[in-house]
């Protein structure tokens, strides 16, 4: 047989994918070099959502950082709130009331659920499974309704405070969760049946975007993407914070580190997060939700309006900000995408000298070229989906 | 000063001349080293049995303008060991007159973007980095916005075909 390619003149084609492409949600650009449909080279351009998070934080008081953290990973804003609040609490060296820890765990896990539902739903949509997307958007809506009942906002929750919370859970929260989770479980099972053994879905996801555990570690992978390679690293287990060590839950791991394993890990984490929420709700104690220290946590409004000292404390906290001691700390929580670390530097004043966020998807996104090179251009879509790049978090 | 962790002790034994200072605040072990030795220290931390810091979790810079005298910058590395579940913070002071440090990309490929971001935001050159260019900002951006002397309301010249 003669070689059909003989004498045929071929050139690489350079293609801009994004920044406004339906699949590059979060605004990112891939500069692709293509040989036919095969990806020869890929350069990822991020930064389209850069807002100067750190610069803004350095020019506000410690408390004013919270709304900015909401906008990091906006799918699971409360986890960012918790991470930042706990970092400042570590810097201050204070402990928070027991009930507050439970509520932080409950709301964090509901936020994580919303994130995983969004991620899998969007991935399914881009691979053509529209039904799965609609089902998961419905579940996500249930999660957001729960969070709306807690803090009044669906996405940008701004719920956690240094040394406490904005407010307590609504009185009928347990019933609400029970109702929402019953519905979620039934929809989850439907999506599980629709996707997990679906031939088309499997063909698009299996063995695509695979990476070995050694490489994943060298790139700084954390979260579901690392666990899909078989490395059981979860900050909630490795360095337990809040009450995660008192609850019964497991860390799912994958085998191959490909997109399908990432999907399976996330699906299993949904189950585990629901278990965490239910256990925490069962064991939640009564008591205060804020620490009793007017230099850190704002005093109750009743006292502010009636007593001189509380009024002064309120005024000082609002205008000058709380004053952590001089020093620096790093504190990490398990975000929906992996290790979400906060590195804070204080000079003893009311404003942070440095408020750095270690964004999990920043480290993962830089391995995109490694994961898509040599594959087909269509494989970029599932790989990029399973990385779960969140522009707000990656670009800060 | 609290008692030092294993990492600080091992580093003091191995690199007595390159350690400037070490401390432990709120359980975070911190070692300040001379910037010339950053690659060697990191290699030791990564490969030495009993330490095995296999994760380069974070790399960033702090600008201490008006907070202390020279050296103005400090490059901060956060390492994590999966095997032993411990963390360490390595800091390397960098002066304004010689704004550069060796790249650790040969040890962790994941340092690539972190170093690019540090260059973008603080203007620190990472020697040996194969592709040091801006990452979050655009090519025409003037200055380095996270330096303390960059104004909060700083404006940038307009770019594009009309300008």
Tell me which of A60, A253, A337, A366 to substitute to probe the interface with B (most B C-beta atoms closer than 10 Å): A366
Distances (CA, A) of B51 to A117, A214, A215, B8, B142: 38, 17, 19, 10, 41
Q: Measured between alpha carbons, how far is B114 from B151 in angstroms, rounded to an integer?
A: 23
Q: What is the pLDDT of residue A35?
A: 87
Q: What is the pLDDT of residue A350?
A: 83
Inter-chain contact A339–B57, Cβ cutoff 8 Å?
A: yes
Q: What is the pLDDT of residue A1?
A: 58
Per-residue pLDDT, averaged over A176-195, amounts to: 91
Chain A residues closer than 8 Å to B109 by CB: 215, 218-219
pLDDT of A28 over the 90 cut? no
Which residue segments constitute the domains of chain A, with CATH numbers given?
45-395 (1.10.645.10)
Inter-chain contact B58–A55, Cβ cutoff 8 Å?
A: no
b/e per residue A13-29 (b: at least 16 CB within 10 A): eeeebbbeeebbbbbbb
Q: Which A residues in the span 306-365 are in contact with B, Cβ-Cβ below 8 Å?
A: 327-330, 332, 339, 341, 343, 345, 347, 353-354, 356, 358, 362-363, 365
When pLDDT is cut at 50, 70 and 90, the band that residue A268 belongs to is very high
Per-residue pLDDT, averaged over A90-104, amounts to: 90
Q: What is the pLDDT of residue A2?
A: 66
Query: pLDDT of chain B along its 163 residues, tens only?
Result: 344 578 888 888 888 888 888 888 888 888 899 888 889 888 888 888 888 888 899 999 999 888 887 788 999 999 998 888 888 999 999 988 888 899 999 989 989 999 999 999 998 999 888 888 889 888 888 888 888 888 888 788 888 777 6
From the CA of B55, how many Å to the nearest CA of chain A?
6
Residue of B nearest to A238 (CA): B85
pLDDT of A194 over the 50 cut? yes
Q: Which B residues in the span 17-76 are in contact with A, Cβ-Cβ below 8 Å?
A: 25-26, 28, 30, 54-58, 60, 62-64, 67, 76
Q: What is the pLDDT of residue A103?
A: 92
Pick from A74-78, A89-93, A301-305, A336-340: least confident: A301-305
Inter-chain contact B109–A233, Cβ cutoff 8 Å?
A: no
Helix axes A98-126, A173-195, angle to 10 degrees: 30
| Interface check B147 vs A, CB under 8 A | no
Distances (CA, A) of B77 to A204, A343, A357, B62: 38, 11, 13, 11
When pLDDT is cut at 50, 70 and 90, the band that residue A308 belongs to is confident
pLDDT of A239 over the 60 cut? yes
Inter-chain contact A343–B60, Cβ cutoff 8 Å?
A: yes
Q: Measured between alpha carbons, how far is B38 from B15 in angstroms, rounded to an integer?
A: 11
Distance from chain centroid for Cα A214: 23
* Tens of pLDDT, residues A196-219: 888 888 988 888 888 999 999 999
Q: Answer yes or no: are the C-beta atoms of A157 and A145 closer than 8 Å.
A: no
Residue of A nearest to B67 (CA): A347
Q: Measured between alpha carbons, how far is A348 from A322 in angstroms, rounded to an integer?
A: 9
pLDDT of A54 over the 50 cut? yes
Q: Please name which of A108, A102, A113 lies closest in space to residue A247, comparing C-alpha atoms.
A: A102
The owner of tokens 């729960």 is A146
Residue of B nearest to A342 (CA): B58
pLDDT of A394 over the 50 cut? yes
Pick from A205-219, A290-304, A353-367, B81-95: least confident: A290-304
Per-residue pLDDT, averaged over A338-351, amounts to: 89
Q: What is the pLDDT of residue B163?
A: 63
When pLDDT is cut at 50, 70 and 90, the band that residue A25 belongs to is confident
* Tens of pLDDT, residues A143-172: 999 999 998 888 888 889 888 888 888 989
Pick from A80-94, A251-265, B16-30: least confident: B16-30
Q: Answer yes or no: are the C-beta atoms of A32 and A41 closer than 8 Å.
A: yes
Q: Which of A47, A329, A354 lies closest to B26 in CB terms? A: A329
From the CA of A212, how many Å to the nearest CA of chain B?
14
Per-residue pLDDT, averaged over A272-291, amounts to: 90
Q: What is the pLDDT of residue A129?
A: 86
Distance from chain centroid for Cα A65: 17
Q: pTM of this prediction?
A: 0.89
From the CA of B137, how many Å to the nearest CA of chain A?
6
Per-residue pLDDT, averaged over A380-386, amounts to: 89
Domain range B6-127, its CATH number among 3.40.50.1000, 3.40.50.150, 2.40.110.10, 3.30.460.80? 3.30.460.80
Q: For every residue of A326-386, which 3-state class applies, written as one string?
A: CEEEEEEEECCCCEEEEEEEECCCCCCCEEEEECHHHHHHCCHHHHHCCCEHHHHHHHHHH
Pick from A124-128, A178-182, B125-129, B159-163: least confident: B159-163
pLDDT of A8 over the 80 cut? no
Q: Which of B89, B117, B138 lies closest to A330 in CB terms? A: B89
Q: Measured between alpha carbons, how far is A138 from A169 in angstroms, rounded to an integer?
A: 23
CA torsion sign for A59, A61, A62, A67 is: negative
Chain A residues closer than 8 Å to B110 by CB: 218-220, 363, 366-367
Chain B residues closer than 8 Å to A211 by CB: none
Percent of chain A at pLDDT > 70 equals 99
């Amino acid at each position: 047989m003669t070689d059909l390619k003989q004498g045929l003149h071929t050139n690489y084609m350079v293609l801009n994918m994004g920044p406004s492409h339906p699949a590059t949600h979060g605004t990112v650009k891939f500069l692709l070099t293509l040989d036919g449909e095969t990806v020869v080279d890929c350069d990822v351009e991020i930064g389209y959502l850069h807002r100067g998070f750190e610069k803004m934080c350095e020019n506000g008081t410690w408390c004013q950082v919270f709304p900015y953290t909401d906008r990091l990973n906006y799918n699971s804003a409360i986890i960012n709130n918790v991470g930042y609040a706990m970092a400042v609490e570590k810097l201050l060296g204070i402990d928070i009331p027991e009930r507050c820890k439970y509520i932080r765990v409950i709301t964090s896990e509901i936020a994580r659920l919303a994130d995983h539902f969004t991620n899998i739903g969007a991935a399914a949509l881009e691979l053509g499974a529209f039904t799965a997307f609609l089902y998961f958007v419905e579940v996500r809506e249930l999660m957001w309704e729960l969070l709306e009942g807690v803090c009044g906002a669906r996405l940008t929750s701004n719920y956690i405070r240094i040394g406490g919370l904005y407010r307590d859970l609504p009185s009928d929260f347990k019933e609400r969760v029970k109702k929402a989770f019953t519905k979620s479980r039934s929809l989850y099972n439907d999506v599980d049946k629709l996707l997990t053994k679906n031939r088309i879905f499997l063909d698009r996801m299996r063995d695509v975007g695979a990476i070995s555990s050694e490489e994943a570690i060298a790139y700084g992978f954390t979260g579901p993407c690392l666990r899909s390679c078989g490395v059981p690293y979860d900050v909630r287990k490795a360095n337990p914070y809040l009450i995660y060590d008192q609850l019964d839950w497991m860390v799912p791991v994958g085998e191959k580190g490909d997109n399908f394993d990432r999907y399976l890990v996330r699906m299993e984490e949904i189950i585990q997060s629901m278990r965490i929420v239910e256990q925490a709700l069962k064991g939640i104690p009564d008591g205060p939700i804020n620490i009793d220290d007017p230099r850190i946590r704002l005093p109750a409004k009743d006292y502010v309006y009636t007593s001189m000292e509380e009024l002064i404390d309120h005024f000082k906290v609002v205008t000058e900000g709380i004053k952590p001691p001089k020093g620096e700390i790093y504190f990490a929580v398990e975000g929906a995408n992996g290790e979400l670390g906060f590195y804070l530097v204080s000079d003893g004043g009311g404003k942070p000298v440095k408020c750095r966020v270690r964004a999990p998807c920043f480290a993962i996104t830089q391995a995109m070229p490694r994961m898509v090179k040599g594959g087909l251009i269509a494989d970029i879509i599932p790989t990029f989906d399973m990385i779960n790049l969140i522009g707000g978090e990656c670009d800060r | 000063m609290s008692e030092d962790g294993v990492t600080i002790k091992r580093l003091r034994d191995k690199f007595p001349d390159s350690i400037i200072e070490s401390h432990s605040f709120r359980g975070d072990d911190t070692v300040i080293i001379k910037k010339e030795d950053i690659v060697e220290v990191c290699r030791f931390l990564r490969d030495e049995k009993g330490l095995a810091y296999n994760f380069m979790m974070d790399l960033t810079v702090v600008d201490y303008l008006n907070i202390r005298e020279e050296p103005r910058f400090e490059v901060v590395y956060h390492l994590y060991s999966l095997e032993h579940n411990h963390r360490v913070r390595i800091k390397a002071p960098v002066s304004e007159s010689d704004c550069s440090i060796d790249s650790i990309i040969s040890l962790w490929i994941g340092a690539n973007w972190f170093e690019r971001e540090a260059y973008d935001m603080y203007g620190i050159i990472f020697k040996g980095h194969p592709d040091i260019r801006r990452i979050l900002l655009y090519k025409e951006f003037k200055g380095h916005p996270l330096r303390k002397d960059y104004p909060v309301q700083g404006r940038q010249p307009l770019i594009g075909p009309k300008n």
